[in-house]
Amino acid sequence: MSDIKAALRAQAIETPSWAYGNSGTRFKVFAQRGVPRDPYEKLADAAQVHAFTGAAPSVALHIPWDKVDDYADLAAHASNLGVRIGAINSNVFQDDDYMLGSVTNPDPRVRRKATDHLLECVDIMDATGSDTLKLWFSDGTNYPGQDDIRARQDRLAEALAEVYDRLGDDQRFLLEYKLFEPAFYTTDVPDWGTAYAHCVKLGPKAQVVVDTGHHAPGTNIEFIVAFLLREGKLGGFDFNSRFYADDDLMAGAADPFQLFRIMFEVIRGGGYTEDVAFMLDQCHNIEAKIPGQIRSVMNIQEATAKALLVDREALSAAQAAGDVLGANAVFMDAYNTDVRPLLAEVRAEQGLDPDPMAAYARSGYFEKIAAERVGGTQAGWGA
């Protein structure tokens, strides 16, 4: 049990700056009180999540949503708050020029502009000390015949190679895939296989990131995780929940069993190290944002604790004996264990309140920001 506790204490879950701002759907953004007015205040809110969970020491930025004049100063601010800058997320999907694509656009001028943005993100990594660049491309087409599918892959490969060559020795990029949206006919990086193939060609500093909301319904995500880990190509996760498409709901809310199965494969595959980033990619449209992040972190911790509890020896023995029901029972025993008391104990041993949700609510932080901050910004999504 002491091993399990140590593993839980070591877990780090990165929260996204955009989770703290106002967000919504294309129908309506419901503004909340006390939301941050700039990236500095987003970091302050993220620091609260870390303060109450002890498990969220880094914060992902999204550029240009988090554009500031002095990134080193922003990183120093994070450090003063007890957190650090995590992945730099590029944004080549919210500019008029990108209507027909960014790095895969048929127009070389637009491709240049998009690639330059990605290179600028590497500069921001240098300035903030971030070691990870996250690349998601909304590129694709809406109609058959609209553009040459193969030429778009060539353009993508060219841009990725340029960014790859710009990375420092201790930097990497994670290529994110998504089945569809906003492109509805072809998407240029629609699945893990496409992302994987590009990353393999480029080398060890290119890895795949799995956003749990980016698959067709029914996709076995834990298989993808097992496969990518086996190939040394799993760079991390964008965790969130989905009921229908890319819903960006709280991790572990829609399908905690799936989250457990994913965490089991991470642990089984030797991916429970700092090489595999556990990031949240969520928006809290109707729920409070800081508590929404705290709840998400706790949900991931619970899935992780259950996955760590799987009796691997008993499981292997049952598997080797071809004992289908026995193996499944070992697996389900772990999943059906109530790990909340264990996690409460781990927190207490770390000097934290065993109930982060209640402790945050009692802290008065929300009342303070609601009074101080007027006119918070939108997260970028729903803008």
* CA-wise closest residue to 18 among 242, 276, 256, 238: 238
Element of type H or E holding 236: strand 234-239
Residues with Cβ within 8 Å of residue 19, at least 6 apart in sequence = 280, 282, 283, 284, 289, 292, 293, 379
- 289 vs 6, 20, 21, 31, 41, CA distance in Å? 29, 6, 8, 11, 13
Of 41, 238, 265, 302, the residue at the interface with Mn ion (CB under 5 A) is 238
Q: How far is the CB of 247 from ligand PSV (least distance, A)?
A: 10
- Partner from Mn ion, ligand PSV, none contacting 222, C-beta within 5 to 8 A by type: none
* Rounded Cα gap, residues 17 and 128, in angstroms: 15
178 in contact with ligand PSV (CB under 6 A): yes
Residue 211 or 353: which CB sits closer to ligand PSV? Answer: 211
CA 157 centroid distance within chain? 23
User: What string marks each residue from 277 to 316 as x (binds ligand PSV by CB under 6 A) or -?
Assistant: ----x-----------------------------------
Is the bond leading into 182 cis (omega within 30 degrees of zero)? yes
Element of type H or E holding 11: none
Rg of the chain, C-alpha, whole Å: 21
136 in contact with ligand PSV (CB under 6 A): yes
Residue 131 or 246: which CB sits closer to ligand PSV? Answer: 246
232 three-state secondary structure: coil
- Partner from Mn ion, ligand PSV, none contacting 89, C-beta within 5 to 8 A by type: ligand PSV
222 in contact with ligand PSV (CB under 6 A): no
Residue 122 or 210: which CB sits closer to Mn ion? Answer: 210
14 in contact with Mn ion (CB under 5 A): no
Of 126, 246, 275, 355, the residue at the interface with ligand PSV (CB under 6 A) is 246
270 three-state secondary structure: coil
Q: How far is the CB of 108 from Mn ion (least distance, A)?
A: 28
Of 48, 58, 89, 293, the residue at the interface with ligand PSV (CB under 6 A) is 89
CA 320 centroid distance within chain? 35
Of 14, 41, 139, 211, the residue at the interface with ligand PSV (CB under 6 A) is 211
Number of CB atoms found within 10 A of residue 167's CB: 18
User: What string marks each residue from 31 to 70 as x (binds ligand PSV by CB under 6 A) or -?
Assistant: ----------------------------------------
* Cβ pair 260, 268 in contact under 8 A: no
Instruction: List binders of ligand PSV among 138-177 (CB under 6 A).
Output: 176
Q: How far is the CB of 171 from ligand PSV (least distance, A)?
A: 18
Pairing of strands 132-136, 172-176: parallel
Q: How far is the CB of 209 from ligand PSV (least distance, A)?
A: 8
Residue 248 or 302: which CB sits closer to Mn ion? Answer: 248
Residue 299 or 334: which CB sits closer to Mn ion? Answer: 299
281 in contact with Mn ion (CB under 5 A): yes
Q: How far is the CB of 192 from ligand PSV (least distance, A)?
A: 14
Is the bond leading into 64 cis (omega within 30 degrees of zero)? yes
Number of CB atoms found within 10 A of residue 23's CB: 24
CB-based burial label for 321 (10 Å; 0-12, 13-18, 19+)? exposed
* CA-wise closest residue to 369 among 15, 36, 23: 36
Q: How far is the CB of 138 from ligand PSV (least distance, A)?
A: 7
Residue 120 or 246: which CB sits closer to ligand PSV? Answer: 246
Question: What residues make contact with Mn ion under the rule CB under 5 A?
Answer: 211, 238, 246, 281
Question: What residues make contact with ligand PSV under the rule CB under 6 A?
Answer: 18, 89, 136, 176, 178, 211, 238, 246, 281, 381
